[in-house]
Structure 1
Amino acid sequence: MSQPGTESIRTVDYHTAGEPFRIVTSGVSPPPGETMLAKRAWAEEHLDRTRRMLVQEPRGHADMYGCFLTATLDAGADLGVLFFHNAGFSTACGHGTIALVTWALESGRIFWPEGCSAAKVVVDVPSGRLVTWARLEGGDVTSVRFRNVPSFVLQRSVPVVGMEVDIAYGGAFYAIAPAPVAINIQNLDRLVTAGREVKAALNARGGIVHPLEPGLRDIYGVIWTQADRNVAVFANGEVDRSPCGSGTSARLALLHATGELALGDVLQHRSIVDSEFTGRIVEETDVAGLPAVVTDVEGSAHLTGRHEFFLEPTDPLGPGFLLR
């Protein structure tokens, strides 16, 4: 029997291409706000302790990812969501969008008729409104494809800590560069260390801002590339086990800018654990005069657990800790 005053939060956990995603289903009221960025700002002020409880040890780990559900901005969307990680709240999360839509359909939160083989689900996220399409077989969602906000290259060949990186946006800003060592688990510590250095140096300089929305700013992650493989190091040294959904869009924008991918071309993007997302350029456009592309990214998510987490008022560790 729990102590009086014990906090209780229920979640459903999925993984998308190996990357965890913890969906809060009860115990937290939806964050208020007229825009998704305003809801995110409210959550940063009022829900950070809850985020830390769900991400940090002993209930989570340094590479945990999750979300709070929100109201949609209007009747044009089916779901609203705020994403969180080990350092705070992100503006976009492709793997989380795939997992969220999978959960919403498989749990019955969004109804779909028996025998239906496809469903369209619209999701409001801080970076914008995403349209997604799910493939269905029986009661199972076999994959989800999301159409991302316009992605673009902000800066090319930026010198930083002894190398050059390109800066591209796919719902969040990423520094993209060839990996300094082979992308494998044995080299992970070196890739994380280098990613931290690049991110810190670029953000210390400042000036990385979306031309239409000043609330979308700063480097979120560093994407190390090696042919069709990548690893994204984001937040506070967090490592994406998936090929990174928003990062895939950013890389598609860069490959389009360099002439390596054209409209309609497909990128089979692999992660450090050899899981895959399929990315495609579906439209050429512009953002405040910058050449941009609209991309589709597709992957699959799988249920891993249902949890009820507790925080007793006498727990000396409070919402927890991180060892790295």
Structure 2
Amino acid sequence: MTPSLTLQLIDTHAGGDVSRIVVGGIMPLPGATVRDQMHYLRDDADGLRRLLLEEPYGIPEMSVDLLVPASDPEAVVGYIIMEVMGYPIYSGSNTICTATAVLESGLVPKQEGRQNFKLESPAGLVQIEALVENGVVEAITCAGLPSYIDTYRDSIHVPTLGDVTYSVAYSGGFYALVDASELGFSLVREEERALADCAHRIVEAIQAERGFSHYTLGDVGPLPFLHFMGPVEQVADGYYRSRSTTYVHPGVICRSTTGTGTSARLALMHHEGRIQPGDRLETISLRETGFIGEFTGSHQEGPHRVVENTITGKSYVLAHSDIVVNCEDPMVECAGLHHILTAGQADSD
């Protein structure tokens, strides 16, 4: 008989985006840093991502976060982010979910009030502030990656859509930013399929025409994200709100507005001179959930004015579960997975 192979998960969501936190069942990965371990998963063990984001175990709209030992002694744990587009080095919603799972699992004991600790993402150390009230994690604030505008109000011809004006921000990945109203959208849930189709066409056109290079990371692959921007309204002094929708190529409309999407919006608002340090932007999703981004400062990095920011949101625990991996199931593809499972190692040779 094939031995039982299981993965231990904590399923969570932030703003509607489900993040599956893998807390057990995977062998230690080679690599001196969390980034190195991410590269190993991407290049030699992509089966874990595909297993948990494809039928029968999952759907592409989910994300996966694998807990791994941190290489930086300041961090309590590391985490590797997996999505339908691959392996982003950072994600706000995944960080909020991972930090919540770390607290709910007891890896970091909960303390009433505000407590601080650090996680290690593939992008490096992430400062976490958790708000705990009556034993419940009510909010997570995480540092967003330094974000900047790469391209401002360029134009591209998109078949069936015509000429589309877009900007490009980097906030953990490259984002095309487009005005929703210019494309005929109000950003309501009934538009979800049409938004996905429209974004797919725009991203395909941009990818075919040009690539993007980060000022320190270099080439990070084709542009994977598009963010639809609704009108910005000022609801209080230094506090703004905007309906927003993030698309992940290929084909996924995020349930939340996403942390990196919100960081990208802050970078654009700063570029246009519309916000000051301390100002906040609340982005509202198709499902009426929200994240709050705060513009905390800026500095010069080479040719770019880089925005420092934080993202605040709440994550909910959905389930603690064991996933039974049955490689004899014709719907289960175990290629790229056997060699990292903690059980059945000898049988896979």
Q: Distance in 2 between matches of 1:56 and 1:97?
A: 22
Aligned match of 1:274: 288
Residue matched to 1:16: 14
CA distance in 2, matches of 1:292, 1:217: 21
CA distance in 2, matches of 1:143, 1:274: 17
Residue 184 of structure 1 aligns with an amino acid whose one-letter code is V
What letter is aligned with 2:124? G
CA RMSD of aligned residues (A): 1.7
Identity of aligned residues (%): 25
The counterpart of 1:95, out of the listed 71, 93, 102, is: 93
Contact 1:129 1:149 in 2 (8 A): no
Aligned pairs for 1:25-174 within 5 A: 25-113=23-111, 116-160=112-156, 161=158, 162-174=163-175
Given candidates 208, 211, 221, the residue that maps to 2:212 is 208
Residue identity in the other structure for 1:104: V
Quickly say closer, same or farther: Cα 1:80–1:274, change in 2 above 3 A: same
Report deviation, 1:30: 3.8
Confirm or deny: 8 A CA contact 1:270 1:276 kept in the other structure.
yes
Task: Tell me the secondary structure at the aligned position of residue 205 of structure 2.
Answer: helix
The range that moved more, 140-149 or 28-37, is 28-37
Answer whether contact 2:56 2:331 (CA < 8 A) is retained: no
> Residue 219 of structure 1: SS of its match in structure 2?
coil
- Partners of 1:226 and 1:319 lie apart in 2 by 40
Q: 1:92 to 1:138 in 2, by over 3 A?
A: same
Which residue of structure 2 aligns with residue 258 of structure 1?
Answer: 272
Q: CA deviation at 1:286?
A: 2.1
Q: Distance in 1 between matches of 2:189 and 2:224?
A: 22
Query: After superposition, what is the alpha-carbon deviation per residue over 1:28-79, rounded to whole angstroms, capped at 9, x for unaligned?
Result: 1243323433222111123311211111111111211111112212102122
CA deviation profile, 1:84-128 (whole Å, cap 9, x unmatched): 122322221101100111111121101244xx3111121221233
Given the two structures, how large is their TM-score scaled by the length of structure 2?
Answer: 0.86
Match of 1:232 among 243, 246, 250: 246
The number of residue pairs the alignment matches comes to: 316
Q: Partner residue of 2:332?
A: 318
Does the 8 Å CA contact 2:17/2:254 hold for their aligned counterparts? yes
**Is the Cα–Cα contact under 8 Å of residues 150 and 293 in structure 1 kept in the other structure?**
yes
Q: Which of 1 and 2 has greater Rg?
A: 2
Partner Cα separation in structure 2 for residue 10 and residue 203 of structure 1 = 37
SS of the counterpart of 1:150? strand
CA distance in 1, matches of 2:67, 2:243: 32
CA shift, 1:302, in A, is: 0.5
Letter in 2 for 1:97: T
Which letter maps to 1:8? T
Whole-Å separation in 2 of the counterparts to 1:262 and 1:71:
38
